[in-house]
Amino acid sequence: RGGDGWGEDFLELVRKGLEKSEEVEDNHWIEHWGNDARPTPLLLSGRDAKKDQSYFLSGVSGQSLRKACFPLGNLEKQSSPHDDAARSVRDIAAAAGLPAADKKDSVGICFVGKRKFRDFLLDYVDPPPPGDFVCVDTGRVVGRHDGAASLLTVGQGARIGGAG
């Protein structure tokens, strides 16, 4: 495509995908930085704070990420009204005539499907035994959990009775 470069970059990714390559492409919204002079790459937050997924790979060793590429990490999902020069993933998809350009955003974790995240985790790990939720300031028991509460993420509301 014209001089914007993204078309050539995309074609290069396709070529690499068709040949035997040790590099792995991933569509997570993160960035990482590394080169031959830096033996362990850094895992960085993606440019689009609303789509950043660096937390998801934060437990993966830097060495394991060495051959990974994250082409979405330096892009925004939507165009910003304040930055005319920035190209977004939706802009690129629309320019390429891809139907995904107008699709509604997904909010789930792609490999979990329609299951609740807690149920997905319980398929793979045994929860700890049931226990109490304790207020760290007062030491007062504010609720009880069934053990699976430890599988909640920071962003999930625990809805603990009596806490507040």
Rounded CA-CA distance 87/91 in Å is: 6
Architecture of the structural domain at 6-102: 3-Layer(aba) Sandwich (3.40)
Q: Going residue by residue through the chain (164 aa), what tens digit of pLDDT does each one get?
A: 334 455 556 566 656 655 655 555 455 545 555 556 666 777 777 777 777 777 777 777 777 777 777 777 777 777 766 665 557 888 888 888 888 788 877 666 666 777 777 777 778 778 778 888 888 899 999 888 887 766 665 445 555 555 44
Closest CA to 132 of 107, 106, 158: 158
The domain locations on the chain are 6-102, 108-159
Closest CA to 50 of 82, 88, 83, 9: 88
Counting Cα atoms < 13 Å in the Cβ hemisphere of 138 gives 8
Rounded CA-CA distance 125/40 in Å is: 30
